[in-house]
A and B are shown apart, each in its own frame.
Chain A
Amino acid sequence: MANGTWRNARIRGGYQLPLAVLFVLAVAIVLIGKAQSSLFDRARAHVTDWIAPELAWAHRPFDWVSGWWADLGEAYSVYRENVRLKEENARLRQWQTAAVALEARVKRYQLLLHAVPDPALSTVLAKVIGRARRPFMETMILDAGRSSGVKPGEAVVDARGMIGRIFLAGDHTSWVIPLSDLSSRVPVIIEPSHARAILAGDNAKAPSLESLAQGATIAAGDQVLSSGDGGILPPGLPIGTVVAGGEGFRVALLADPALSQDVQVVEFKKPVEQPPQPSAGDLPISAAGLPPASAPAAQSLGAAASPAPAQPPNAVKAPPQQAAPGGTAPGDELDDQ
């Protein structure tokens, strides 16, 4: 160990300036990262893509030991757990019957009311090949990336419920930020009161409910689902149940990121509504019964309506379908819907 006999007086004091410079540089990196972290994220994604095959291979024995450790802890309570699960299974079968009947009824009502159907969800099945728990961040690494259609922001679920969101996607791997992470904010709805709130992670096991609407009444045991507000996450993903925690309410999550092995990345894209392309008849000047627009005005309209090669002056009188040859006019799409 250090014994103080080294002659280090020569060095002492000589690092003041480099230390100050490096400190300023490190603080600058923090600030740049806060403003724009894409550079760092790209580097992370490249590193993970690079080590992904080795990671998948190295993860297996660790999973085995981790599973064995968890099994050891549960061995003492296996009988009691088995009895409880049998009772729960019997109850759930009753609920399943009720749910099937209700689902059919909801579909019938939707048909009767001409309700807009929920957008279809497609999923990408991925395997967890890495897991890290640091003091300020907990992450999972999946073996699916952009090449599989995974994009940042998408929800990650397992059989029990939502785990978190993709925050970084490389070519073949992606990083998941769990709901409990300090930087996680997810809009949720609490049933049966329909109260809306923000599920805010703070690195505790059970994230807290923030921004509850005034007058909202929720109680321990209420179900928490994703609300779909903002159009990034699909509505109705099961998240957890409300528990009373200190000053406010917290949510006991259904899924446990530490145990999930196979997960699904939910692709949710709300169709962007395209406004119909304006025709000459829609222009205020034509609607007012005045003569058609002059050539320069028509040219500028043509340039604004379509980035394609410049249209001749009379193109403004053409119907929208002809303005985009080979494609379907957005107005038609809307009509079809």
Chain B
Amino acid sequence: MERVSAVMTSRIVASAIPATLAVLGTLIANMPVSFLGGIVPPPLLGLMPIYFWCLLRPDIMPPFWAFAVGLLEDLLSGGPPGVWAVAFIVTYAAIDRQRESFAGLAGFAAIVGFATAAAIACAAAYLVVALYYWRFPPLAPVMVELATTVLFYLPAAVLLGWIQRRIVGPSRGDF
């Protein structure tokens, strides 16, 4: 009985890890401090766990978390409300539709896969902001944000993979 209870607890904790990491990543990325005087924008750290576990374990990373993390990003970044919520939901829908294609990628191709997802998020946010202000904002800051996000995904993917293998993965059920 105790063993069953421990297994259940471990599963609950493990299933909360992806969403917790996404929220934590968003909080860290939106800390209003910068090492380089604001030259380089912070990456979309919240998108990384969403992409990663949307592919591997959509049962523990449902669309609600993409919406909630997007909303948190909006709240903390200071921009118009709802922009990143729309962007993350659109990205989630794109990954959801092309899950087989994305999940089959490995190595460098997997990075390209994430870059595609991040590009979808940035493009969606750009379009929403353009409609919001009824004018096209400059493209360069969005491209820099995209590049920074993809660069940061290289170490992040290693970390997320380790967490998946060591903590989240072993606790999965019959999924």
Contact = CB atoms under 8 A, between A and B. Distances in A.
Interface of A: 1-4, 6-8, 10-12, 15, 18-19, 22-23, 25-34, 37, 40, 43-44, 47, 55, 58-59, 62, 65-66, 69-70, 129-139, 141, 168, 175, 182-183, 202-204, 258-259
Nearest to B97: A12
Contacts of A32: 81-82
A27 B58 contact: no
Contacts of B70: 26
A8 B133 contact: no
Interface stretch (B2-10, B14-22, B99-107): B99-107
Chain A binding surface SS class: mixed
A136 B67 contact: no
A178 B78 CA distance: 12
A203 B81 CA distance: 18
A33 B35 contact: no
Nearest to B113: A2
5 contacts: A2-B55, A2-B103, A69-B35, A135-B144, A203-B141
Given A19-B93, A135-B122, A136-B129, A30 B83 contact: yes
Nearest to A43: B75
A135 B142 contact: yes
B100 A59 contact: no
Contacts of B56: 2, 6
A267 to B, nearest CB: 23
Contacts of B32: 55, 59, 129-132, 139, 141
Nearest to A39: B81
Interface of B: 30-39, 41-42, 52, 55-59, 62-64, 66-67, 70-71, 74-83, 85-86, 89-90, 92-93, 96, 99-100, 102-107, 110, 122, 125-126, 128-129, 132-133, 135, 137-138, 141-142, 144-145, 157, 161, 175
The secondary structure that dominates the B interface is helix
A1 B161 CA distance: 6
B82 A30 contact: yes
A22 B37 contact: no
Contact of B89 (A26, A31, A65, A258): A26
Interface centre among A19, A26, A30, A34 (most CB of B within 10 A): A26
A44 B78 CA distance: 8
Contacts of B110: 1-2
B141 A12 contact: no
Contacts of B33: 55, 58-59, 62, 130-131
